[in-house]
Structure 1
Amino acid sequence: MKKSISTLILIFVSLINYSQSYEFETVIDLETTDVISQGNTGTCWSFSVSSFLESEIMRKTGKKIDLSEMYTVRNTYPKKAWNYIMRQGKAQFSEGGLAHDVINSVADYGLVPNVAYSGLETDALRHNHAEMIAVLKGLLNVFIDNPGKQLSPKWKQVTESVLDTYLGKNISTFNYDGVQYTPKSFLEMTKIDPEDYISITSFSHKPYYSNFILNIPDNFSNGSFLNVELNDLVNITNTALKAGYSIALDCDVSEKTFSSKHGLAVIPKDEVNNKDALTKIMSEKTISQVLRQQEFENYNTTDDHLMHITGMLKDQNGTTYYKVKNSWGNNPDRVAHNGYIYMSEAYFKLKTISIMVHKDVVPKKILN
């Protein structure tokens, strides 16, 4: 009888704990710029990492600067085109990219503020690259097909012309707050050093604590990632946030339990609870390195979207969530939490492709 009563009590307590509406308490909330929309583009990589760098500029200098995402996009497309042309079309040519593509652009071409280069056509209020990418890819394919029996060098000029038409001509000087800058001198003013940032992942098909090229479609530039065990990936993220450093995040957002409308990303233990888990606390899966690798190798975890981790929260049961800045706008009719996603630690552990952090928050024994 006592055993039956005890079982009933445990069931009752469990139901109470996991049928509550979410109540979040902010633990860490780092300074960042406003949530904006990437529009009808696949350039989340530039929006997220630009936001990350904006927070880094505030951390380093106290200055709040709205960086130009499209300046980076404008300078990255010729590199994508080169890769596509040289691989004779046997590579992906799309709007996608990764965090290191922004850092590579910063190192090569510097930074500019959005007021100096918006990348918007006259009177346009929203980015839309659907036509531009179709035109670019179509033209590159014509050159690859070699109607003149050999590759024409004009493909570079044509690529630049299309980018100039849709995004605007590149700039060499501009004025900002009454001072004239070049993109390189502006970068120097922001105190951003591209050498300070490192991409980190966690997959078991490569040796841990070594660097490797992650074979995902958007890694056209063959960027290298430091591979660590899953617990270290989480610890580095938590350590960075506690020390006042934000994090650029590349992850899978295709799960039904990732919802911008509800501002939530969770991994329920039982899939029948997927819908309810967006409004009520449900028990989540225990995420292991084995499960993470399995989901990556069977394409359930793919490189979908880049965002910006700017804080940490806890629900009333003490579960950790990351405050993740998205780039899908802040329209309250479409997104919750003013455009932020509250991502559970379980979701982060299972669905993260990689993070980018300042190297100062990575333990020296791991860097070495």
Structure 2
Amino acid sequence: MYPFKIKTLLLASTMVLSMGTVTAQDGLVNSLKINASEKSAESFKFTDVINLANTSIKNQGSSGTCWSYSTNSYLESEMIRLGKQPVEISQVFSARNAYVEKGKNYVRMHGAVTLGDGGELHDVINMYKKYGAVPQEVYSGLNYGTTKNKFAEMAGITEAMLAAVVKNPNGELTPNWEKAYAAVIDSYLGQVPQNFTFKGKTYTPQSFAKEMIGINPDEYLEFASYSTEPYYKKTMMMVPDNWSFDLVYNVKMNDMTTIIDYALKNGFTVAWATDVSEKSFSWKNGVAYVPTKKYDEMSTVEKENMFNGPKEEPKVTEEMRQKAFDNYQTTDDHAMHIVGIAKDQLGKEYYVVKNSWGATNDYKGYLYVTKEFVKYKTTSFMVNKGGIPTDVLSKLGS
């Protein structure tokens, strides 16, 4: 997932993004203020129903690493659920290792696969399984004087380098390109520590993952919903940033909120990937919902009042959901972390979602997302097996 993807000529004229580069996050946040209401927070009255423990709000900076920030935040909440003292896990360590693997895959596929620094929820689990993990204080990725991630230059150089490798100028690839590629990444993000000391004890990334974090990566299942594929079977996640071609479980649209509700009610948070380019998603106001009218059919007053309090929503259908996905109206934009449920003043339930754009909105880094929005715009989500209803698990054969 990238910080955002462009779906309209209006956005395309104000923000330029190519699949191989990263645009500053400020451009994204500003773009999501288009329909912000100044007094939105006064018009919504949210009351917590479920509020599960999670760690502090982070800022991914100018990098397409939402997938790593959200899933590592999710793992930190898993530590809490398991009775452990949470540790801030290095998000850039997960990303760095994914970039190395993605580069290898890119060359094997002769360049015919997505590059860039986007990714998926499963990438963090896959990298955890293969490389382990390290604490943020040991590997921040801030290796060249910045205080926040700023990956555009690194992305430009590594893409050009891989393009040269794919051209195969020697007529036969040498093993040196992999070393050179990793060295470029490490020159920007820092070399990965083979051993490090944390709280007076020496670890390797593998031993830190096992002893300090202590999750079983095989316990985490990832889901999507496509009406075009058999339900309760594994299917390819059909989005560009699924560079590893991972398979996910395909469930019915209503199963998604059923699983998420069950997980939250039983103490499990949820890693969540979604489209955020809809005008009914407002980061500034911290609210996302499905409007009853298309934006271009709204009056000026209706547009101005999109976030001045709770709104009616249509009932999303599987046909609506699939059509939006097939027409590129639902795109694989962003990943976040669902940590609770709240009700508005009319009694409607929303998911409480933790983001990684800093504490810059009305709710200091969190937002409230309706269940209809989740049904309509989710691209994937991940949860521990223990947070999945038994009847769904039996259908999956898990």
TM-score by length of 1: 0.92
Equivalents in 2 of 1:178, 1:157: separation in Å? Answer: 32
CA shift in 2, pair 1:303/1:275, >3 Å: farther
Give CA deviations for 1:57-116 in whole Å, capped at 9, x if unaligned.
111133121100011111111111011111111111111000111000000011110011
Bigger CA radius of gyration: 1
Equivalents in 1 of 2:157, 2:144: separation in Å? Answer: 19
What is the Cα deviation at residue 360 of structure 1? Answer: 1.3
Deviates more, 1:201-210 or 1:152-161: 152-161
CA shift in 2, pair 1:274/1:324, >3 Å: farther
Within 5 Å, which residues of 2 pair with 1:231-310?
231-271=254-294, 272=298, 273-310=302-339
1:121 corresponds to which of 132, 137, 143: 143
Deviates more, 1:52-61 or 1:181-190: 181-190
Equivalents in 1 of 2:303, 2:49: separation in Å? Answer: 26
Give CA deviations for 1:258-297 in whole Å, capped at 9, x if unaligned.
1111011111112324542222222112101111111111
Equivalents in 2 of 1:44, 1:216: separation in Å? Answer: 16
Confirm whether residue 181 of structure 1 aligns to residue 181 of structure 2. no
Partner of 2:121: 99
Equivalents in 2 of 1:320, 1:147: separation in Å? Answer: 58
Give CA deviations for 1:151-198 in whole Å, capped at 9, x if unaligned.
333210111110110011111111111111111111112221101100
The list of structure 1 runs, each at least 4 consecutive aligned residues, that deviate by more than 3 angstroms after superposition, is none
Give CA deviations for 1:276-334 in whole Å, capped at 9, x if unaligned.
22222221121011111111111100100000000111111111111111100113xxx
Deviates more, 1:84-93 or 1:140-149: 140-149
Equivalents in 1 of 2:362, 2:396: separation in Å? Answer: 37
Confirm whether residue 215 of structure 1 aligns to residue 241 of structure 2. no
SS in 1 for 2:82: helix
Partner of 2:386: 360
Equivalents in 2 of 1:255, 1:351: separation in Å? Answer: 9
1:336 corresponds to which of 329, 348, 362: 362
1:25 corresponds to which of 31, 43, 47: 47
| Aligned residues of 1:312 and 1:320 also touching (Cα < 8 A) | yes
| Aligned residues of 2:264 and 2:387 also touching (Cα < 8 A) | no
Give the partner amino acid of 2:51: D
Confirm whether residue 70 of structure 1 aligns to residue 92 of structure 2. yes
* Root-mean-square deviation (Å): 1.3
Equivalents in 1 of 2:238, 2:350: separation in Å? Answer: 28
Give CA deviations for 1:221-277 in whole Å, capped at 9, x if unaligned.
011111111111111000000111000001000001111110111111123245422
SS in 2 for 1:158: helix
Within 5 Å, which residues of 2 pair with 1:149-160?
149-160=171-182
Q: What is the percentage of aligned positions where both structures have the same residue?
A: 39
Confirm whether residue 108 of structure 1 aligns to residue 130 of structure 2. yes
Confirm whether residue 225 of structure 1 aligns to residue 248 of structure 2. yes
Partner of 2:39: none
What is the Cα deviation at residue 123 of structure 1? Answer: 3.7
| Aligned residues of 1:94 and 1:133 also touching (Cα < 8 A) | yes
Count of aligned residue pairs for this structure pair: 346
Deviates more, 1:193-202 or 1:183-192: 183-192
Confirm whether residue 320 of structure 1 aligns to residue 349 of structure 2. yes
SS in 1 for 2:101: helix
Deviates more, 1:149-158 or 1:24-33: 149-158
Partner of 2:222: 199
SS in 2 for 1:277: coil
| Aligned residues of 1:143 and 1:152 also touching (Cα < 8 A) | no
| Aligned residues of 2:288 and 2:368 also touching (Cα < 8 A) | yes
Give the partner amino acid of 1:171: P
| Aligned residues of 1:257 and 1:275 also touching (Cα < 8 A) | no
TM-score by length of 2: 0.85
| Aligned residues of 1:256 and 1:274 also touching (Cα < 8 A) | no
SS in 1 for 2:380: strand
| Aligned residues of 1:308 and 1:325 also touching (Cα < 8 A) | yes
